[in-house]
Structures are given as structure tokens and as C-alpha cells.
Amino acid sequence: MFAFPAESLKLTNVIRKLTLLAVVICALALAVYFYAHHNWHPLPSATTIDRIVVEKAARKLSIFRDGMQLKTYRVALGRSPIGPKEKEGDMKTPEGIYKIDSRNAQSSFHLALHISYPSNDDNVRAAERGVSAGFDIMIHGIPNGHGWIGAFHRWNDWTAGCIALTDKEIEELWRVTPDGTTIEIRP
């Protein structure tokens, strides 16, 4: 069968338009992936910090050295982020001053810095209500195997009370944060 020249021209134009559309979609997908996974303004390799401040309402985690702010990250919090953590399972991120007291490279999430929650005061308040204050509050990355989500994990608060960063961001924070670093979690 032979196609008429006009039909052949139409088919060629349709193929060109579909090819262009496919190229544009691939370029957009690549741009979105790059945005979601890029660590903007990485810290120099010798950097160490001495303080972390989390502002829950702003969904920000800022890091400091000698009182000077070095960098700010956007975070996701516990699924019920308003107010301080009151008991185990309430899905709230605690508020108060704590320490980074350990780290877990084998976490279910991409790296985890453990926060010294609960404090003695947190335990006393929980005991007065007859409940457990909870435990295992961390700053961590995305669940293992789901790192492809990148920055899009911040669209919703999704943790059980922890503070979540992208995998690239937790790798940087892990590198610059010594155990014993003070963390202040504000409302």
C-alpha cells in the first residue's frame, strides 16, 4: 500500500510533535529530579557545628557554629506537629532543649541522629498523666529504599515525631554534627 503525499506529511508532523512532547516531558522530569535531590550550597568538608535549632511552625532546621548560622534546611515533622510531644504514639515532635546523644547508620531511615528525648522533665510530665513520654526521637533521612522522593517528602508531615531531611541533607548534617551537640526544638 502506498500513502498519498498529504497523508505522509500529516503522519510525519504527528511523529515530530510526539517526539518533541516526549523530549519536553523527559527534560521536565530530569529538572524536577535534580531540584529534589540537589544539596544547594554544601558545607565545606572541615565544618563542625555546636548547635541545632528547629522551628516547628516554620518547618526549618538551622545549624550554628559559635553563634553564627551556617545553613538552614526545610524539614518534615511528626504527623501531628502542633504542640509539644506529650506521650508515646501521639505523633508529635517534642519541644525543648536536648542533645544529639548517638547516631545510627543502620536505621530504617537513611542515617539517624538520636535526640536525648525524653528529658527528666518530659518523663515527670508524662508520669503525672499516667503515660509514657515516648522515645527514639531522631533527625533522619527518608525511609531506606525511598530516597528517590527527595525534597518532595516535605509536602506533608509524615514522621512518628522525628525530624526528617532528604538523604543528601542528613548525610551533610551527619558529617558536621558531633555527638553532644545541643538541639533546641521550638514551637
Q: Across the strands, what pairs with 99?
A: 182
Residue 105, C-alpha cell as written in the block = 547508620
Burial class (CB in 10 A: 0-12, 13-18, 19+), 173: buried
Q: What is the mean pLDDT of residues 48-65?
A: 98
Half-sphere exposure of 19 (CA within 13 A, CB side): 6
- CATH number for the domain formed by residue range(s) 51-186: 2.40.440.10
Domain edges within the chain: 1-37, 51-186
Contact yes or no for 186/98 (Cβ under 8 A): no
Contact yes or no for 64/53 (Cβ under 8 A): yes
Residue 37, C-alpha cell as written in the block = 535531590
* Positive or negative: CA dihedral 60, 102, 108, 147: positive
SS3 track for 37-88: HCCCCCCCCCCCCCEEEEECCCCEEEEEECCEEEEEEECECECCCCCCCCCC
Highest mean pLDDT among 5-19, 35-49, 112-126: 112-126
For the segment 133-159, what is each residue's pLDDT rounded down to a tens digit?
A: 999 999 999 999 998 888 889 999 999
Radius of gyration of the chain (CA): 23
Residue 14 in this model has a pLDDT that exceeds 70: yes
Rounded Cα–Cα distance for residues 182 and 107 (Å): 21
For the segment 95-124, what is each residue's pLDDT rounded down to a tens digit?
A: 999 999 999 999 999 999 999 999 999 999
